[in-house]
Amino acid sequence: MMANTAVTLENIVALCKRRGFIFQTADIYNGLNGVYDSGPLGTLMKENIRQAWKRSLKQLPYDIVFFDGALLGNEAMWAASGHVENFHDPLVECKACNARFRTDDVDLEKACARCGKKEWSESREFHMMFKTNLGASVEQASVAYLRPETAQSIFVNFKNIFSSSRVKIPFGVAQLGKAFRNEITPKQFLFRMREFEQMEMEFFCTREQSKELFDFWRAERLSFFTRIGITSERLRLRDHETDELSHYSSATSDVEYLFPFGWKELEGIAHRGNYDLTQHSKHSGKELSVFDESTKQSFIPDVVECSVGVDRLFLTLLFDAYVQEQLEKETRTVLRLHPVIAPIKAGLFPLVESLGEPFARLAKDLQGEGIEVQYDASGSIGKRYRRHDEIGTPFCFTYDYQSETDGAVTIRHRDSMQQERIAMDQIGLYLRTALMWK
């Protein structure tokens, strides 16, 4: 299998800006490196990604509860997790032009790509957490960090969640939300950002259950990506070598995607043992074990973690769906997105504006039901199709003169471009069925 060679990063960046998926943040002030805003379509599509992830967890035969932790965390918490000490990347600086790079991104035998000189500094560790002080005080006690991952707030709340929810081991706690990393070199658009969003799930279990559950989650997470429409041949699971593993992990697998710039991590699945809860118990002095009825003993549960970035998945979906097709007289750009992921589910077109009333009303009804459709009455029907092909709208309906008498409309399918007639009062049912998903 090849990467999707029909598409370049430049195509995606241009499409995102042109059609309102993603903008460079504070664009009119020259932006902020590694930080982006979502436009109207990007906002819809990201929400679809989050919903699909939540639904995929809810469909499983396990208890999974959801959690929403704070973005700011105190120093003690991040010291206990090991982040204050260990969350850094190696950095090297060009002494001639002061450009900074991740050491593993440059060949120190070669000259600086920015200025052409070869005057490298020693490599040193660069800390990636954003540090701040709360309130007016600058004492150590007021130090806070923006979270570089969502997982730790689940661990520090483990006892709160366990005692307040009706869950039993094994069970999962899932969280989605922003994370911040002061990446040395943000790059490849949404692939490596400084402010991004994660979807993480920590699954608590016994040591005996953990091996089987690790295998279960590897298979389940890989399957999730194909179920939201990503080409299976461009996905693979890669087990980490022993020397790649984090100090706390006994096994880690990445789901990787074949980007135009190579196979890269999309999601990490890690067997974290009971490292995190043990650390937080030690540092806080609080008991974080649970009681096992069968053995009548207390134990600190093991954890299998699944962690994926919303933005990285968003980029992956765009790369995978982007196609340019040569038609008789023109090239059409199509995003072959799964209907569940597509930001707009249907275009509703009156053939001419004077026929607009029934579809304008239907658009409002469907939107009220939570089905995102767009009423579009301007330009030729062909132009309207192209506009919607490019943003991945799976279905377009056209209301014409004949509809006035027979109550039927034309449905046109994005991928095949085939058209057929269906009763107008069946549109809602048609879309609801297309959006059912497993």
Position 53 contacts ligand ATP (CB under 6 A): no
Position 307 contacts ligand ATP (CB under 6 A): yes
Q: Are 56 and 174 in contact (CB under 8 A)?
A: no
Is the previous residue joined to 358 through a cis bond, with omega within 30 degrees of 0? no
Position 318 contacts ligand ATP (CB under 6 A): no
Residues 162-191 that bind ligand ATP (CB under 6 A): 181, 183
Q: Which of 24, 153, 198, 393 binds ligand ATP (CB under 6 A)?
A: 198
Q: Which of 276, 311, 320, 376 binds ligand ATP (CB under 6 A)?
A: 311
Residue with tokens 């799976």, as numbered in its chain:
394
Residue 59: which of 162, 150, 174 has the closest Cα? 174
Please say which residue, 181 or 412, places its beta carbon nearer to ligand ATP. Answer: 181
Position 193 contacts ligand ATP (CB under 6 A): yes
**Residues forming beta bridges with residue 176, ordered by sequence position:** 199
Position 42 contacts ligand ATP (CB under 6 A): no
Q: Which of 251, 308, 373, 396 binds ligand ATP (CB under 6 A)?
A: 308
* Lookup: tokens for 220: 């389940």
Position 427 contacts ligand ATP (CB under 6 A): no
Nearest residue by C-beta to ligand ATP? Answer: 309
Residue 301: which of 326, 343, 271 has the closest Cα? 271
| HSE-CB for 151 with a 13 A CA cutoff | 25
CA–CA gap between residue 324 and residue 362 (Å, rounded) = 32
Residue 184: which of 93, 278, 320, 259 has the closest Cα? 93
Applying CB under 6 A, which part among 110-118, 308-316, 391-399, 417-425 lies near ligand ATP? 308-316
**Residues forming beta bridges with residue 37, ordered by sequence position:** 23
Give residues with Cβ within 8 angstroms of 200, minimum separation 6: 149, 150, 151, 154, 174, 175, 176, 305, 306, 307, 308
Q: Are 341 and 227 in contact (CB under 8 A)?
A: no
Position 267 contacts ligand ATP (CB under 6 A): yes
Q: Which of 47, 265, 390, 400 binds ligand ATP (CB under 6 A)?
A: 265
Position 234 contacts ligand ATP (CB under 6 A): no
Please say which residue, 300 or 306, places its beta carbon nearer to ligand ATP. Answer: 306
- Packing angle of the helix pair 310-321, 9-18 (nearest 10 deg): 100
Q: Which of 83, 272, 312, 384 binds ligand ATP (CB under 6 A)?
A: 312
- What letter would DSSP give residue 246? -
Please say which residue, 253 or 374, places its beta carbon nearer to ligand ATP. Answer: 253
* In the complex, least distance from residue 216 CB atom to ligand ATP, rounded to whole angstroms: 19
Position 196 contacts ligand ATP (CB under 6 A): yes
* In the complex, least distance from residue 124 CB atom to ligand ATP, rounded to whole angstroms: 19
Position 202 contacts ligand ATP (CB under 6 A): no
Largest CA distance in the chain: 79
* In the complex, least distance from residue 298 CB atom to ligand ATP, rounded to whole angstroms: 30
Residues within the interface to ligand ATP (CB under 6 A): 149, 181, 183, 192-193, 196, 198, 265-268, 307-309, 311-312
